[in-house]
Amino acid sequence: MGATFGIGVFLDGRNPPLWARPWPDHYRWQLDVAGTAEVLGAASVWLTEHSRFAAGYLPQPLGLGGGLAPRT
């Protein structure tokens, strides 16, 4: 019997200054990415946590995870 695996999506929350968009729009976009990935067959969403970075790495993954839960 062969092994099976699923493809996942990694969201790190970066919003670098050169391409920065307003934070509400940025987080909404990440929710949309995760929702679209699920429709396309993604098996998981991976979040990271990095505090105090200028590019806005995701400082609170549980907040984004809470937003993802009802959408995926």
pLDDT tens digits, 7-30:
999 998 888 888 899 999 999 999
pTM of model > 0.85: no
pLDDT for 55 equals 73
pLDDT for 32 equals 95
- Report the chain's C-alpha Rg in angstroms: 14
> pLDDT confidence of 2, banded at 50, 70, 90?
low
Q: Is 47 helix (H, G, I), strand (E, B) or coil?
A: strand
Residues 6+ apart with CB under 8 A from 23: 15, 56
Contact 20, 53 (CB under 8 A): no
Please state, in angstroms and as integers, the Cα–Cα distance from residue 10 to each residue in 1, 36, 58, 60, following that order. 29, 13, 12, 15
